Amino acid sequence: YTAFAIAGSKLTKRIRSKAFACLLRQEVAYFDRPENSSGAICVRLSSDALAIREMIGTRLSIICQILAMSVFGFLFGYILSWQLTLIVFGNLFIVSVATYGDVSLRIWLDQQSGQIVERASTVSAIFTLTSFYCREN
């Protein structure tokens, strides 16, 4: 994990410095907007770089570890008993397909719920306008 942690820290430092350099090149009017206040910019600089460091440091190291263990396990199992290895990795294929289907379904449901929320907010806005119009009359 140490090599990935060091790489993640170095990448975080580079991203923060490049993002800060890009912020310094902005026009003055950019900083007048409320979403670009000094606090918001500091939070954005720290949180975005931290998310990248977490992705590079921990997640990538875990993915590499899992891949290495899977390849070693497959080769070791193939040497000991190739029939058992095919049975185990055949089931792994089925589980992978089921996981892919589950993730695809969750992504589709998230998209659908986003569209439903958007439609509901439109209806809510129409009710608000109608109530304001009824008050005036």
More confident residue, 137 or 30: 30
Amino acid at 48: D
The beta-carbon contacts of 41-50 under 8 Å, at least 24 apart in sequence, are 45/16, 45/19, 45/20, 46/16, 48/15, 48/19, 49/12, 49/15, 49/16, 49/19, 50/12
How far is CA 87 from each of CA 28, 80, 83, 93, 94, rounded to the nearest angstrom? 65, 13, 6, 10, 11
Task: Give the residue from 60, 80, 100 where a domain finishes.
Answer: 80
- Mean pLDDT taken over the chain: 83
Verify that 52 and 4 share a domain, yes or no. yes
Domain boundary (80, 111, 127) is at 80
> Residue 88 belongs to what domain range?
81-137
pLDDT band at residue 58, thresholds of 50, 70 and 90? confident
Last residue of a domain, one of 80, 96, 116: 80
DSSP the chain: -HHHHHHHHHHHHHHHHHHHHHHHTS-HHHHHSGGGSHHHHHHHHHHHHHHHHHIIIIIHHHHHHHHHHHHHHHHHHHHH-HHHHHHHHHHHHHHHHHHHHHHHHHHHHHHHHHHHHHHHHHHHHHHHHHHHHHHH-
Do residues 72 and 86 both lie within one domain?
A: no
Q: Are residues 76 and 89 in the same domain?
A: no
Total domain count for the chain? Answer: 2
How does pLDDT run across 65-110, given as a tens digit for each residue? 899 998 998 899 889 988 988 888 888 889 999 999 999 999 999 8
pLDDT at site 100: 95
Per-residue confidence (pLDDT) for residue 127, from 0 to 100: 66
Q: Within this chain, do residues 1 and 68 fall inside the same structural domain, yes or no?
A: yes
| 59 and 92 housed in the same domain | no
pTM (whole model) above 0.85:
no
1 and 54, same domain (yes or no): yes
